[in-house]
Amino acid sequence: MIKNDLFLRVLNGEATSRPPVWMMRQAGRYLPEYIKIREKYDFFTRCQTPELASEITIQPIRRYGMDAAILFSDILVIPQAMNIEVQMVPNVGPVIPNPVRSLKDLDQVIIPEVNESLGYVFDAIKMTKEKLEGQVPLIGFAGSPWTLLCYIVQGRGSKVFELAKQFCFNEPEAAHLLLDKLTETTIEYLKGKIKAGADVIQLFDSWGGILSPEDYLKYSWPYLNRIIDALEDQVPVIMYGKGCWFAMNEFNKSKASAIGIDWTCAPKTARSLVDSKRVLQGNLDPSYLLSNPTLITNKVNQMIGEFGHQHYIVNLGHGITPKTPLDNVKAFFDTVKNYQALEV
Ligand code: CP3
């Protein structure tokens, strides 16, 4: 049983007196207790050791008591399990030493037995659930196949991922084969996460917004929709696409339980693009958390007013940035927890 089930109730379409709140990348570098663990263990050791991953997952809950936990892990554990080497280089980010650039490169890319290669993630979920003692629900996640392709082909982070696009445009057959393998693996992986105890799944299409609407419907959305369909009736799925508001109509028609948006789409615009009881999540610009508690409180109240306090989950529009002051984070969460609706 989950004691604070506000988040789950909203995802199930219920009306509530205040919206639930959590924060993308809440388990991470703005927390001194995370930095302490980071000094001792490298990134993938932190992901692969259930004791560490579960501890890091719970750190923000202990400090702020938000309404949901999100498992500490990374979207790039999927390519790793598919036999693609991924390194996390401090101050650089993810590096793929042998990027996929041709059909031939795909020979080495396997669809893994997830219990073998990703069993450590399932163990981390089980351990986190034990440590949470039912306080709040646990979110599991995966990257969209397109967003994973961006890293696998480009070989590292980028603002434009031009090599990933070049690959899709020059070798569509290879691109679709890679996207298909990623989709199959992601479905099995997420089913494993749910079996291990994840209460909700969020899909991150962090780089969907760099595609044209036409290409989004070719290279990203069909694969995401396949994943959403495969998880139907298991747990609620939140579909987050950064810069993807042009695809809102597709998201709205899908079986996702909620749609996450970034700050480039105004709350009222988002509401006008979806059915009246669609659950929306977002969308404060994370840079506001670098300002001051008074401004943050005002912006959060304004945001809740504009989305409406029902069928809504308060979040940032993307992940929290590393240098965010702790008191500002507190102001963000406290404002939502103290929110008093004029009418329920
Ligand atoms: O949200 C959470 O608190 C859960 C943990 C989480 C991490 N990565 C931990 C992490 C989640 C949900 C992710 C998802 C992720 N990883 C995405 C999609 C979400 C998004 O922000 O767009 C992407 C694109 C990645 C890939 C990735 N991992 C990058 C580009 C980087 C380096 C750049 C950066 O932001 O630091 C990572 C590393 C990473 N993943 C860190 C954390 C806490 C920082 C590394 C460190 O502390 O050493």
In ligand 1, which atom is closest to the CA atom of 204? 18
| 343 found inside a domain | no
Look up the CATH number of the domain holding residue 156. 3.20.20.210
In this prediction, residue 181 carries a pLDDT of 98
Contact 87, 95 (CB under 8 A): yes
| 154 found inside a domain | yes
| 36 found inside a domain | yes
Domain limits at 257? 6-337
206 lines ligand 1 (CB under 6 A): yes
Element (H, E) at 42: none
Q: Is the pLDDT of residue 344 over 60?
A: no
In tens, the pLDDT along 200-237 reads 999 999 999 999 999 999 999 999 999 999 999 899 99
Q: How many domains does the chain have?
A: 1
What CA–CA distance (Å, rounded) separates 149 from 163?
10
| 167 found inside a domain | yes
In this prediction, residue 52 carries a pLDDT of 98
In ligand 1, which atom is closest to the CA atom of 90? 48
User: Catalytic: which of 30, 64, 151, 288?
Assistant: 151
The three-point CA angle 256-261-266 to 5° equals 130
Residue keyed to tokens 């997420």:
190
Q: Go through the chain and tell me how many residues it has.
A: 344
Going by CA atoms, what residue is nearest to atom 37 of ligand 1? 93
What CA–CA distance (Å, rounded) separates 296 from 306?
15
134 lines ligand 1 (CB under 6 A): no
User: Catalytic: which of 5, 18, 25, 262?
Assistant: 25
| 1 found inside a domain | no
Bridge partners (DSSP) of residue 142 are: 203
* Catalytic status, residue 74: yes
Going by CA atoms, what residue is nearest to atom 5 of ligand 1? 72
- What's the gap in Å between 17 CA and the centre of ligand 1? 32
| 193 found inside a domain | yes
What CA–CA distance (Å, rounded) separates 138 from 57?
9
Going by CA atoms, what residue is nearest to atom 2 of ligand 1? 25
| 228 found inside a domain | yes
Q: Which residues contact 113 (CB under 8 A, 6 or more apart)?
A: none
Q: Is the pLDDT of residue 343 over 60?
A: no
User: Distance of alpha carbon 269 from its chain centroid, rounded?
Assistant: 22
What CA–CA distance (Å, rounded) separates 108 from 112?
12
In tens, the pLDDT along 182-207 reads 999 999 999 999 999 999 999 999 99
- SS3 for 217-265 is HHHCHHHHHHHHHHCCCCCCEEEEECCCHHHHHHHHHCCCCEEECCCCC
* Catalytic status, residue 229: no
Contact 197, 126 (CB under 8 A): yes
In this prediction, residue 342 carries a pLDDT of 65
What CA–CA distance (Å, rounded) separates 327 from 132?
24
* Catalytic status, residue 101: no
Going by CA atoms, what residue is nearest to atom 20 of ligand 1? 206
| 344 found inside a domain | no
